[in-house]
Amino acid sequence: MDGVRVGNRLIGADAPVTVGWENIPRVQGGPVKQFVFTWFQPTVLFALIAFWYYAPNSIAKASTAIGIAVGFKVLLLALEWVNPRYESWRLTWKELATDLFYVGLGFTVLRLVDGFIGDDVMIKAIQGYFDWDKFSWFTGLPLLVQAFVISFIFDFGQYWMHRGMHNWYPLWLTHSVHHYITQLNINKGAVGNPVELFLIGLGIGGFFDFLPRAALLAGAIGLSVSTYQHINVRFNTPRWWRFVFNTTEHHSLHHSQDYEATRSNYAGTYIFIDRIFGTCVDGEAELLGMEGGRRMSIREQMTYPFTEAWKSIRKRFARPVAVPVPRAAPPA
Ligand SMILES: [Zn+2]
Ligand SMILES: [Zn+2]
């Protein structure tokens, strides 16, 4: 396979990928469908920002945010049904069963933790721990600026964490399972990621209800952008959006079977961070996964990081075995 040169890297030499926005298919269908799938993403983003900007204090709470997040995911599930990006990514019973296992796991762990630590005790402890007056220079800034700063700092950290996972073997072991998914759909963000489920659970318990409105706004921006990382819907995403924000296209390349392509698009929300550090590749991929798209069983997903770590430790400390060294060809 030839691959395409992006900067000084060769993308798509091991597996087929599409590079460049001009090569990405557009939404098929009549004017109404075109309109909906062109404006859906910006409309939801601006509607959510407006909601959190104007909502009265009585409803501007983390529990409302969780409700919105769940509703948003159900809406996206319907869109996946109407306008899938790839038929090959359609949800099957087997995939659904695996996904539900993770949802169940998350809630079980959550209920255990909830039983040990009461939410109200923790809320009081956190509120007492911070001296909120020290942040008055920050809370005096316009609300939208605060929200952007919070979400940017969070995503900047996530960028380097994620890049670290792809470059340092012990961290890679924890992240590798997520890269064995062979299709993207709305449930896949949770696969291999019980932490996210855990946080959602804490939110339902009212754990985060002390959060200031700027943080809720930041969360809404993150939700209405980064959710598209794992989703099977074809959009005509506006040019400015895909320049600034991460998209399904970017993240599908990150999950592709092509090794070089996976080493790109690390940000969760702001793809311009990848542009700044030279790791952004604009394009998409249909064939996803590791080892040519080998599907992992749930049991293997649970044990893989540990068995792999054990294998490499054994390899490193194994007694050297005498291996015949092939003789180098004499210089011509
Ligand atoms: Zn990754
Ligand atoms: Zn992913």
Per the model's pLDDT, the better-predicted residue between 192 and 251 turns out to be 251
How many whole angstroms from 172 Cα to the centroid of ligand 1? Answer: 9
Ligand closest to the CA atom of residue 261? 1
Ligand 1 center from residue 162 Cα (angstroms) = 6
Least confident among 93-97, 130-134, 213-217: 130-134
- Read out DSSP for 209-228? TT--HHHHHHHHHHHHHHGG
CA of 56 to the centre of ligand 2 (A): 35
Instruction: Give the closest ligand to the alpha carbon of residue 164.
Output: 1
Predicted confidence (pLDDT) at residue 118 exceeds the cutoff of 60: no
Q: What pTM was estimated for this model as a whole?
A: 0.84
pLDDT tens string 67-115: 888 889 889 989 998 899 999 998 888 888 887 887 677 667 666 666 6
Average pLDDT over residues 216-239: 93
* Segment 180-201, tens digit of pLDDT: 989 998 877 666 555 555 555 5
Name the more confident of 109 and 16: 16
Amino acid of residue 154: F
Q: Which ligand has the shortest distance to the CA of 288? A: 2
170 exposure class (CB count in 10 Å sphere: 0-12, 13-18, 19+): exposed
Cα 23 to averaged position of ligand 2 atoms, centre (Å): 22
Distance of CA 217 from the midpoint of ligand 2 (Å): 23
Ligand with minimal distance to 251 CA: 2
Quote the CA–CA distance of 147 and 160 in Å, as a whole number: 20
Q: Report the share of the chain in percent with pLDDT over 90.
A: 43
Measured CA distances, 37 to 51, 76, 83, 94, 252 (Å) = 22, 12, 9, 28, 19
Phi, psi angles (nearest 5°) of residue 322: -70, 120
User: In this predicted model, which residue has the larger pLDDT, 119 or 212?
Assistant: 212
Q: Given this model, what pLDDT does residue 43 score?
A: 97
Ligand nearest to the CA of 187: 2
